[in-house]
Every structure is written in C-alpha cells, then in structure tokens.
Amino acid sequence: MSLPLLLGLPVILLAVGIHAVTTSRRSHRSHWIYGATLIVCVIALGLALASLLMDPTPATLTLPLGLPWLGAHFRLDALAAFFLVVVNLGGAVASLFALGYGQHESAPGRVLPFFPAFLAGMNLVLLADDAFTFLFAWEFMSLSSWALVMAHHQEPANSRAGYLYLVMACFGTLALLLAFGLLAGSDGAYDFAAIRAGQATPGLAALALVLALIGAGSKAGLVPLHVWLPLAHPAAPSHVSALMSGVMTKVAVYGFVRIVFDLLGEPVAWWWGGLVLALGGVTAVLGVLYALMQHDLKRLLAYHTVENIGIIFIGLGLALAFQANQMYTSAALALTAALFHILNHSLFKSLLFLGAGAVLTATGERDMERLGGLIHPMPWTALAFLLGAAAISALPPLNGFVSEWLTFQAILLSPELPQWLLKFLAPAVGALLALSAALAAACFVKAFGITFLGRPRSPAAAQAQETDRYSLWALFILAGLCLLAGILPGLVVDSLAPVVGLLNGSARLVTQHDQPWLTLVPVADVKSSYNGLLVLLFMAFSGAVAAFLIHRLASSAVRRGPAWDCGFPEASPTTQYTAGSFAQPIRRVFGSVVFQARERVMMPPPGDLRPARFEVKLRDPIWEHGYAPIANAVVAASSRFNYLQYLTIRHYLSLVFGALVILLLGMALWR
C-alpha cells in the first residue's frame, strides 16, 4: 500500500531540510539537497501515478499525533493522488532545475533548509484527512514558502512582499479554520469522514462555501484577494517561484475542491455556482490585464497565475452550477476541464518561471526593458520558453488549448441550466474567457518578443550565456509534457476520470482512449471533437512539404544584410519597441478604464537639450479601494489609543475603580 510510503517521503524531506541547516557550512551541499529532493519527488510521483491509474480506491491511515483524542488522519484517494502527481512533478522538475540554478544562489543558507520543508508541507496538505492536520500542513506550507520569499530579504521590496504574503496567508487560514469549525460542530468532529457524514444545513453550508472561497481563494490568488501574489512569487528564487506559482496555487485549489465538492457534498443552491463562476471570470480578465501592464518578467508571470486561477475557477463554478441541477454529465465535463487546466497550468507556468530563472542567471535582469535578443545567445532556453508561451496562450496543438477548449464546451452546455441568471451569466463569462485568452496571447507575444527577440537593450543582455544542462533538461521535460498533453488529451482525460467520479457522484466523461485516432470527444461526436494529434501531423506535414518543395524547386539561397526598416539605416537598439510601448494600444483600450491609466509627454522647451520624457501613471483600484483603507484604519486606531500607554497612575487607578463600580452596578441591577 502506497500511503505509508507517501507519508514517509515528507518525513525524509524534513530530515533533508534539517540536514541542510546542520551542514550549512559545506559548499557542495546544494547538489546534495536538490538531488535528494529530486529523488524523493520522483518516487512520490511514481507512487501517486500508480495509485491514480491502478487502484484509485481510498486508503486511510491514522497516526497518534496532532489532537490527542482525534489523532492525525491521512487518506489517499483519487483526488489526492492527482494533486500529488501535480505537486511532485513540479517539485521534481524544480529540483532538477535547481541542481544547476542553485549554484548561483547568493544566500543558500536561507533557501536550502526551507525548500524540502516546503515540498513536504504541500505533500502533507494533500494527504491530510482531518481539519487539524490539514490546516497544520497548510500553515506549514505557507510558513516555509514565506521563509523562501524572505531569502533575499535585504531588498526592502522583498521584505514587504513577505510581510503581505504571510498576513494574507494567516487571514486565509483563519477563514478556513472558521469553515472547518462550522462543519465540525461544537463537539469538534474534525476528521473529514465525520464531516462528510454530517449534513450541514443550507445556511451553514453556504457560509462554509463562502469561507472556503475566501480561505482557498486568498491562497490561490482570486481577485480581490490576489494582491500578495504578484509581489511574493517573483521575490523568491526562481525555482521556488515556479513551485509557488505552478504548484502551491494548485494546492490552494485542492483545498477548495476538497471542502466544497467532497466535504460539503451536493451543492444545495444554484447561486453557489454563479458566485464562483463570476469570480472566476473577473479574476481571469483582471489578472491578464494586470499582467499586460508589467515589464518585470517574473511579475508578469505571477499575474498570469492569477488569470489561470480564474479560468480554473470558471470550470469549478460551472461544475457547481450543473451539480446543483443534477446535470452530472455536464458537471463531469466542467470538472474535467478544471482539473485538466490545473495540470496544464502547473506544467507551463513552472516552465515559464524556470525559463525566467534561466534568463535571470544569464543576465541578472528581470526587467524586460533591459533585455532583448536573448534568442541568439541562448537558443534552447528560448525554444522552451516559446513552447511554454504558446501553451499558456492556448494555441493548438499544445495543452493550454485543450483545457480551455473543454471549458468552452462546458460553457456551451450551460443553456440547459434552468436558472435565468446562470443562462445569462455563462455566455458573458465565456466572452470574458475568450477575451482573457486573446489578451494572454498578446501578453506572451510581448513577454517572449521583448525578452528574447529583437536586439539586446543592455550590455548584460548582450553578454548572456546559455544556461547549464540541468536547467535545460528541466525546461525541455516540461515543454515535452506540454506537447504530449496537447496531442494526447484523451489519455489525460481518462486518467482524470476517477477523480471526476469521486467528486461528481460517480458520473464521469465517456472513455476517450478507444476513440478513432485518439480524438477528444467530450460529449458526443456530433456535438464537438478535437484531435490535437492530427492537427500536429497535418501542420508538420504541410509545413514540411512546403519547405521541402520550396528548397528543392525554388531557391534556398539566403543573404544577410542590415535590416531595412523602411529605409532607416542602423537605428540604435533603443528605437525598438519596448514592453511599455508594445502594451500601449491595449493600455489605451482597456487600461484607461480599469487602471485610470494616464500618459504624459513632457517636451523640453525649444533650445533645451534634455530628452523628452514620457511617463505612464497606473493606479491599482483594488489596492486603493480595498486594502489601503483597512491599513489606514488600523494605523489610525492604534495611534488613537496609543495615549493609553502614557497616562498617570491616578488615571490607571481610576480605570480599575471604574471597572469595579461598573461591575458592582451590574450586579445590583442584575438581581
């Protein structure tokens, strides 16, 4: 049975972390640590895959830890197994990448101990089967990732990011804690089995849903709880950023799915789905719009995480809506789409962050305005990054497209929903989804084009070198997986089936692998079908034929010369489009509404030789109207009450006296 083994592995990871603390003097230890995490993650990956594909029957285990009268319950079912696959795949690749990347780490003593601990925390969250163990692992995960974010604490920005991150994490944990308290009842039946058995009243269930949405959403980065994410994820070392963005957010989604789909059982009210759906749509569009405004590569990627979380939640919301109306086949489609996108996003977001890390080590730059032309010195990194960018932009035949296609198919089933609001909401959200997909494509044309194409904008970019082989291996493993998942979606869908069945009253999609040519047919082949494999083959065929014929029959000669550029000779690299200028049209179309974007050109007076200045002002409405007021209120209140520290003894005596008199009066009146 693989559950005990899977439980043993986090313990090994923790031991590795402790070993990292004790041997923090040696130089070669980063190889040692990352090698160990790599091996452990690979083993865990294998076990999880085995239990997902071979026997998804739940296995439970209870250890005499945690709450004494409860013990620590652990459970390995299809859902946990799937997420274990996601987590440990990401962990393994990140470790492999770090084998090379970790050499450049400036403060290894602040990374090595916490990296294994972080992995262990995520694994434990997935295995936990009672509220206490779950939150314990959850908070431990937040804590270790916080330590990793604080690794380069000497930049004030990172310190601020870490602070905001941990406070938001604590906020989310409190919300989850309240949700569990609600579900467990006053006599503290904290193990999930009891919670499943107990039926919550509709009101309580709705409250629990909202709390779970707040708790898990704040960790996953749902708008408007996302503010910490684009600050914290880039602040960490890149392989950690990959884990946080690609994997930890998925663990957060797991928390939501576990509570809402598994513990709460049937959704009682249709508006649950509407709520989640609307939140998802808003999150998707706002996330990508934020991303378009960035010129810091890693922050751009972090904002895209927000967008993809939105897409995932769209799928989940649809599933809730369908389940509330007992349309289980449709719900199965929506759930499959969401889960598929979870897998995909973990793949390409890790890939992209690792690529950004490679760029960072090669140039020491995260600011795209100072990069450019990297495709020449580092072609392989560029190729991998390009694949990731194409995948996240939902371009066929890569994997990102498949999951978004499935989501669209699920939306197309929404007219069967009886509720009017949902009828109207679904296509609107579909429009938002389409918009975010298109904007994502624009954003990644910008990200890849400005970073890798064109001519170098800074000496650092000009002198870049290709990264080490470990990193390249990591990048290309992920890229290959993106392609595989894109052209063989049917197999992935089939392996997701047990998870869907678990969450969906044992209703699941039709098995795909016996379709002709491995076509993906979610509902029925008269309705819709897609075959990534054939698309790839056709494209390869036609492209190859064209190339062959042209080179054979027509010319294959090439001459190099200066760029023509409508006859402007030898323009300096500064005349290229920058990230800001590339985003300018979209900023004018969307940003002026959302961010109150203001552009100002400051022309020096004639005769003045200073260059003209162009500046853009963006304002973050969510921060300004959501968070700043709270912070100000706390500061104001604490300043308001601060004088109580500086009273004279007489005043303190009168406080005691007042308390006494009030209580006595209360007594007198109470009788």
Partner 1 sequence: MNALGFLAVTALLIVPASATVVLMLAPGYRFGARLNVSAALLSLLAAITLLGWRPEANLYLRVDDFNIYLIVLNNLVSFTTSVFSASYIAHELETGRLTPAYLRFYHAMYQALLFAMNLALLANNIGLLWVAIELATLITVLMVGLYRTRAALEAAWKYFILGSLGIALALFGTILVYLAAQPVVGEGLPAMAWDQLLAKADAFEPALLNLAFVFLLLGYGTKAGLVPLHAWLPDAHAEGPTPISAVLSGLLLNVALYAVLRFKMLMSANSHALAPGPLMVGLGLLSLLFAGLMLYRRGDIKRLFAYSSIEHMGIITFAFGMGGPLANFAGLLHMTMHSLTKSAIFFTVGHIAQAKGTQRISTIRGLTVTHPVLGWGLVAGVIAIAGMPPFGVFTSEFLVVSSTFARQPLLALPLALGLLLAFGTLLWRLHGMAFGKPDSGPVAPVQASILPMLTHLALVLIAGIWLPGPLVAWFKNVAALLG
Partner 2 sequence: MHGLAFDIAHLLAGGMVVVSFLLLYQVRLFALINVFALHSLVLVLAVGWQATIQEAHHLYVTAGIALIFKAILIPTALHRIVRRLGIHRTLEVVGGVGLNMLAGAALVALAILVMLPVTTTADVLAREDLAFALAVVLLGLWLMVIRHNAVSLVIGFMSLENGLVLAAAGARGMPLAVEISIAFSVLIALIVIGVFLFRIRERFDSVDMQAMDSFREGRRR
Partner 3 sequence: MALITDYLVQGCQMLLVLLLAPLLTGWVRTIKAQLLRRRGPSPLQPYRDLLKLLRKEALLADSASWLFRVAPYLIFAALWVAAALVPTFASGLLFSWTADLIAIVALLGSARFFLALAGLDVGTSFGGIGSSREMMIASLAEPAMLMIVFTLSLLAGTTELSAIAQFMLTAEVGLRVSLALALLALIMVAIAENARIPVDNPATHLELTMVHEAMVLEYSGRHLALIELAASLKLLLYLSLLGCIFIPWGMATAGESWTAYLIGVAAYLGKLALGGFLLALFETSIAKMRVFRVDQFLGAALMLGLLGALLLFVSRSR
Least Å distance, CB 248 to partner 1, is 16
Q: Which two tokens stand for residue 36?
A: 């160990």
Query: Which amino acid would we find at residue 74?
Result: F
Q: Does residue 568 interact with partner 3 by CB under 8 A?
A: yes
* Distance in angstroms (rounded) separating the CA atoms of residues 465 and 358: 10
Backbone CA torsion sign across 572, 573, 576, 580: negative
Residue 576: contacted member of partner 1, partner 2, partner 3, none (CB under 5 to 8 Å, by partner type): partner 3
Least Å distance, CB 656 to partner 1, is 6
Residue 665: contacted member of partner 1, partner 2, partner 3, none (CB under 5 to 8 Å, by partner type): partner 2
Q: Which two tokens stand for residue 43?
A: 């083993």
Q: Which of 561, 605, 606, 607 binds partner 3 (CB under 8 A)?
A: 561
Q: In this structure, what is the dihedral angle of CA atoms 442, 445, 451, 456, given to the nearest 10 degrees?
A: -110
CB 416 within 8 A of CB 510: no
Least Å distance, CB 27 to partner 2, is 45
Q: How far apart are the first and last CA of the chain?
A: 65
Q: Which of 280, 430, 489, 501 binds partner 3 (CB under 8 A)?
A: 430
Residue 449: other Cβ atoms inside 10 A: 18
Q: Which of 19, 104, 370, 455 binds partner 3 (CB under 8 A)?
A: 455
Q: Does residue 531 interact with partner 3 by CB under 8 A?
A: yes
**Looking only at residues 627 through 646 of this chain, which bind partner 1 when binding is defined by CB under 8 A?**
634-635, 637-639, 641-642, 644-645
Distances (CA, A) of 529 to 52, 146, 393: 26, 44, 20
Q: Which two tokens stand for residue 434?
A: 């389409």
Residue 448: contacted member of partner 3, partner 2, partner 1, none (CB under 5 to 8 Å, by partner type): partner 3
The enclosing H or E element of 602 equals strand 598-602
Residue 65: contacted member of partner 3, partner 1, partner 2, none (CB under 5 to 8 Å, by partner type): partner 1
Distances (CA, A) of 117 to 9, 93, 322: 11, 16, 39
Least Å distance, CB 270 to partner 3, is 16
* Site map 38..77 versus partner 1, x via CB under 8 A: --------------------------xxxxxx--------
Place of tokens 């047990």: 498
Please give the radius of gyration of the chain, using alpha carbons only, rounded to the nearest integer: 27
User: Site for partner 1 (CB under 8 A): how many residues?
Assistant: 60
Least Å distance, CB 275 to partner 1, is 20
* Distance in angstroms (rounded) separating the CA atoms of residues 390 and 392: 6
* Distance in angstroms (rounded) separating the CA atoms of residues 121 and 174: 18
DSSP state of 260: I
Comparing C-alpha atoms, which of 264, 281, 266 is closest to residue 325?
Answer: 266
Identify which of residues 107 and 539 has a Cβ nearer to partner 3 in the complex.
539
Q: Does residue 546 interact with partner 3 by CB under 8 A?
A: yes
CB 241 within 8 A of CB 353: yes
Q: Which of 254, 576, 591, 594 binds partner 3 (CB under 8 A)?
A: 576
Q: Which of 156, 561, 606, 611 binds partner 1 (CB under 8 A)?
A: 156
Phi, psi of 223 (to 5 degrees): -65, 135
**Looking only at residues 646 through 665 of this chain, which bind partner 2 when binding is defined by CB under 8 A?**
646-650, 653-654, 656-657, 660-661, 664-665
Distances (CA, A) of 509 to 405, 495, 517: 15, 11, 18
Stretch that binds partner 3, among 135-143, 262-270, 391-399, 661-669 (CB under 8 A): 391-399
Residue 559: contacted member of partner 1, partner 3, partner 2, none (CB under 5 to 8 Å, by partner type): partner 3
The enclosing H or E element of 140 equals helix 131-149
Q: Which two tokens stand for residue 385?
A: 């990054």
Q: Which of 46, 53, 163, 370 binds partner 1 (CB under 8 A)?
A: 163
Q: Does residue 2 interact with partner 3 by CB under 8 A?
A: no
Least Å distance, CB 321 to partner 3, is 15
Residues that bind partner 2 (CB under 8 A): 642, 645-650, 653-654, 656-657, 660-661, 664-665, 667-668, 671
- Using CB under 8 A as the criterion, which residues of the chain lie in contact with partner 1 when the complex forms? 64-69, 131-132, 135-137, 139-140, 143, 150, 153-154, 156, 159, 162-163, 166-167, 170-171, 174, 177-178, 180-182, 184-188, 190, 634-635, 637-639, 641-642, 644-645, 647, 649, 652-653, 655-656, 658-660, 663-664, 667, 670-671
